[in-house]
C-alpha cells in the first residue's frame, strides 16, 4: 500500500517541566528522517514547524494547584489540530514530531473529528512509561504533558476538552503499553474507564510479541484506524538519554522495534505522534537518531 507521510513539527516544551523538547522536531530531522523515508521509497511532505512554545522569560508565577500556561498551550493546540486536520484531508498519515506529550491532545482531537464524519472512532496505542491520565485536580506539578490521555478520554480541564468538540476516545479501544510509572489516581481512572494496560510486568510475563498482538486486536477492533502515540521514554532509560522523564526498567530497543514492525505488517496506522525527544539532554543526538530508526520500522523497514 502506497504511503504518503505528512511531517509536522510541534516544538512545545512549555507543558513539561524541562526545557529543550521544543527542539525535538529539528533534532529528528537532523538525525536522518528524510533519508530514512527515502530509503523506504515513501512519499512525504514536510509541513514545517509550528512556532516553538517554550516557557516565557521570566517564568510566570503559577499558583499551586493550577495548570501551568493553560492559555498559551490551548492556542498552540488549536493551531496544531488544524495542521493535523489538513494533513488528514490531503490523504497523508500525519507524523507529529515533538515536543512534549501534551501535543497528543491536538493530534487526537483532529483524528477523532476527522473520522467522526464516517461514524468511526479510532483506536489508540499509547506507548509510554507513564499513563498521562492526570487532571488539574490530581496532577502534582500542573504540567499538561501528564494529562493528554485523560483529556482525550473526556476528563479534565474544560478548555482542553473543548478541542475535541464533544467527541472523545472510546476507552475500550485504548491501550497503554510499556507503562511502569502510574499515580494512584491514574490507576483508579484506568479501572473506572476500562482502559487496557500492558505494564512492564505483563511484558515480562507474556512477552512483547503477545502484548503487542493483544494491543493491536484491541485498538483495531472493528477494523478501526489506529493512532500511535509514541513517547520515547517508553524505552528503557539506558538507551534514551535525550528525554525529560526517563524511567529505568523499561522496554528495550529491540522490543520497541518489534512493536513497530508488527504494526507495519498490519498496515493499520493512520496517524502518529513521536514525542519527548529533548536534544538538550542528549548525547550527540543519539536519541533523535534512535527516533528515526523507530519511525523507519513503523513505516516498513525490515532487516532483509
- Which residues carry out catalysis? 101, 128, 130, 132, 145, 231, 233, 276
H helices of 207-285, in order, are: 208-219, 253-266
Neighbours of 39 (CB within 10 A): 11
Cα 104 to Cα 84, 184, 233, 302, distances in angstroms: 11, 22, 15, 27
SS3 252: coil
Comparing C-alpha atoms, which of 238, 237, 228, 240 is closest to residue 274?
Answer: 228
Neighbours of 45 (CB within 10 A): 13
Write the CB contacts of 170 (distance below 8 Å, at least 6 apart in sequence): 121, 123
Amino acid at each position: 500500500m502506497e504511503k504518503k507521510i505528512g511531517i509536522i513539527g510541534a516544538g512545545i516544551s512549555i507543558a513539561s517541566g524541562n526545557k529543550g523538547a521544543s527542539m525535538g522536531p529539528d533534532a529528528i530531522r537532523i538525525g536522518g528522517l528524510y533519508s530514512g523515508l527515502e530509503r523506504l521509497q515513501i512519499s512525504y511532505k514536510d509541513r514545517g514547524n509550528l512556532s516553538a512554545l517554550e516557557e516565557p522569560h521570566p517564568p510566570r508565577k503559577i499558583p499551586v494547584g493550577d495548570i501551568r500556561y493553560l492559555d498559551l498551550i490551548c492556542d498552540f493546540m488549536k493551531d496544531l489540530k488544524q495542521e493535523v486536520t489538513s494533513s488528514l484531508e490531503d490523504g497523508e498519515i500525519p507524523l507529529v514530531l515533538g515536543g512534549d506529550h501534551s501535543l497528543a491532545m491536538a493530534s487526537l482531537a483532529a483524528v477523532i473529528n476527522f473520522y467522526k464524519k464516517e461514524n468511526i472512532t479510532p483506536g489508540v496505542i499509547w506507548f509510554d512509561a507513564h499513563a498521562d491520565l492526570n487532571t488539574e485536580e490530581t496532577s502534582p506539578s500542573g504540567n499538561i504533558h501528564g494529562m493528554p490521555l485523560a483529556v482525550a478520554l473526556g476528563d479534565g480541564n474544560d478548555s482542553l476538552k473543548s478541542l475535541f468538540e464533544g467527541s472523545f476516545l472510546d476507552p475500550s479501544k485504548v491501550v497503554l503499553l510499556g507503562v511502569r510509572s502510574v499515580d494512584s489516581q491514574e490507576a483508579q481512572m484506568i479501572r473506572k474507564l476500562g482502559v487496557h494496560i500492558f505494564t512492564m510486568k505483563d511484558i515480562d510475563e507474556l512477552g512483547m510479541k503477545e502484548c503487542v498482538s493483544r494491543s493491536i486486536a484491541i485498538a483495531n477492533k472493528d477494523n478501526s484506524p489506529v493512532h500511535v502515540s509514541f513517547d520515547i521514554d517508553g524505552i528503557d532509560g539506558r538507551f534514551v538519554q535525550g528525554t525529560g522523564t526517563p524511567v529505568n526498567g523499561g522496554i528495550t530497543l529491540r522490543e520497541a522495534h518489534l512493536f513497530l514492525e508488527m504494526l507495519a505488517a498490519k498496515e493499520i496506522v493512520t496517524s502518529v505522534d513521536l514525542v519527548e525527544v529533548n536534544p538538550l539532554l542528549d548525547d550527540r543526538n543519539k536519541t533523535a537518531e534512535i527516533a528515526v530508526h523507530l519511525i523507519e520500522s513503523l513505516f516498513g523497514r525490515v532487516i532483509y
